Amino acid sequence: MTQTDPRAHVMGLITACWTTPVIGVASRLGLFDALAAGPRADADLAAETGSHPGALRRLMRALAVLGLCRDLGNGKFELTEAGRLLRAGESGSVRGAALHWSDRLWGALSQLEQSVMTGKAWSISGQAGFEHMARDPEQMAMFHQSMADLTRPVARAVLDAYDFSRFSRVMDLGGSTGALMAAILKAHPGLTGQVFDLPDLADAAKTYFEAEGVSDRAAFVGGSFFEEVPSGAQAIMMKMIIHDWLDEEAVIILSNTRKALGRDGLVLVMDRIAPEIATDERSAYATMRADITMLVAAGGKERTRAEFEALFAAAGLKLQRIIPTASEFAILEAAPA
Ligand SMILES: C[S@@+](CC[C@H](N)C(=O)[O-])C[C@H]1O[C@@H](n2cnc3c(N)ncnc32)[C@H](O)[C@@H]1O
pLDDT one-digit tens code per residue, 151-196: 999 999 999 999 999 999 999 999 999 999 999 999 999 999 999 9
Q: Is 312 in the pocket of ligand 1 (CB under 6 A)?
A: no
pLDDT one-digit tens code per residue, 189-221: 999 999 999 999 999 999 999 999 999 999 999
**Those residues with Cβ within 8 angstroms of residue 235's Cβ, 6 or more apart along the chain or in another chain:** 164, 167, 170, 171, 265, 266, 267, 268
Predicted local confidence at residue 1, as pLDDT: 53
Q: What angle do CA 169, 172, 173 make, to 5 degrees?
A: 130
How many A from CA of 277 to the centre of ligand 1? 29
Q: Is 220 in the pocket of ligand 1 (CB under 6 A)?
A: no
Q: Is 240 in the pocket of ligand 1 (CB under 6 A)?
A: yes
Could you tell me which of 268, 271, 277, 266 has the C-alpha nearest to residue 243?
271
Distance of CA 177 to the CA centre of its chain: 12
Contact assessment for residue 179 and residue 155, using Cβ atoms and an 8 Å cutoff: yes
**Those residues with Cβ within 8 angstroms of residue 166's Cβ, 6 or more apart along the chain or in another chain:** none
Mean pLDDT by 10 residues, the chain (337 residues): 79 95 98 97 98 98 98 97 93 91 92 94 80 85 89 95 97 97 97 97 96 97 97 98 96 98 96 91 87 93 98 98 96 98
Could you tell me which of 213, 206, 204, 207 has the C-alpha nearest to residue 183?
213
Q: How far apart are CA 249 and CA 229, in angstroms?
A: 14
Predicted local confidence at residue 3, as pLDDT: 55
Mutate-to-test residue for ligand 1 from 104, 145, 176, highest number of ligand atoms within 8 A of CB: 176
Q: What is the DSSP letter of 160?
A: H
- DSSP for 294-305 reads IIIIIS---B-H
Q: How far apart are CA 156 and CA 137, in angstroms?
A: 29
Predicted local confidence at residue 246, as pLDDT: 93
Start-end of H helices in 135-213: 137-161, 179-187, 202-212
Residue 243 catalytic?
A: yes
Contact assessment for residue 155 and residue 188, using Cβ atoms and an 8 Å cutoff: no
Are β-strands 76-79 and 40-41 bridged in parallel, bridged antiparallel, or unpaired? Answer: antiparallel
- Report CA Rg, the chain: 21
Helices 247-260/305-314 angle, 10° precision: 60
How many A from CA of 190 to the centre of ligand 1? 26
CB crowding 299-324: b at 16 or more within 10 Å, else e: bbbbbeeebbbebbeebebebeeeee
How many A from CA of 335 to the centre of ligand 1? 22
Q: Is 198 in the pocket of ligand 1 (CB under 6 A)?
A: yes
